[in-house]
Amino acid sequence: MLTDKAPAGLQDHLGYWLRLVSNHVSAAFARRLDGQGVTVAEWVMLRELHGAAPLPPSRLADRMGMTRGAISKLADRLLDKGLLARTADPDDGRAHTLSLTDAGCVLVPTLARLADQNEAEFFAILTAAEKEAVEAALRRVVAHRGLTGMPVS
């Protein structure tokens, strides 16, 4: 064979386990949300707007780690579902703001409950101390590398 000696296996990387678990958590959550006719990205946007002042799309793009183009289309879909409103900024002719409709506001707590269930179900085997330790470690990585804006996919 034309190979060097075998390199480190995928499973030797922390990144592998992170992604394995993370993807499964997301996939399971997506299945739950599916029953409510909502995607994960839509949930994130709804959550981002819930209980907050109306936000311009560009701000959401930053916070959600997506491009403005993606936000624009995502907003369109939520608009079609009647969960979101798009309002022109009276002061700046270019700007718009996005906010939840009443239906959107009502829906969020339901979805949040699904998120809680998903979280609980997945990490049930871990003790509180373990969860704390993992979260603390991840927070340190985030802080140290200045990570910001969750890429939705």
Partner DNA sequence: GACGGCTAGTTTCCTTGTCAACAAGGAGGA
Partner DNA sequence: TCCTCCTTGTTGACAAGGAAACTAGCCGTC
- State the amino acid at position 74 in one-letter form: L
Q: How many angstroms separate the CA atoms of 96 and 57, rounded? A: 7
Instruction: Tell me, residue by residue from 60 to 99, as one string, x for binding to DNA by CB under 7 A and - for no binding.
Output: -----xxxxxxxxxxxxx--------x----xxxxxxx--
Q: Name which of a second copy, DNA, none residue 87 binds, using a CB cut-off of 5 to 8 Å depending on partner kind.
A: none
Nearer to DNA, 7 or 151 (CB): 151
Q: How many angstroms separate the CA atoms of 28 and 34, rounded? A: 10
Q: How many angstroms separate the CA atoms of 87 and 93, rounded? A: 11
Q: Name which of a second copy, DNA, none residue 81 binds, using a CB cut-off of 5 to 8 Å depending on partner kind.
A: none
Least Å distance, CB 136 to a second copy, is 8
Residue 127 sits at φ, ψ, to 5 deg, of -75, 165
- Site residues (vs DNA, CB under 7 A): 39, 41, 56-58, 65-77, 86, 91-97, 151-153
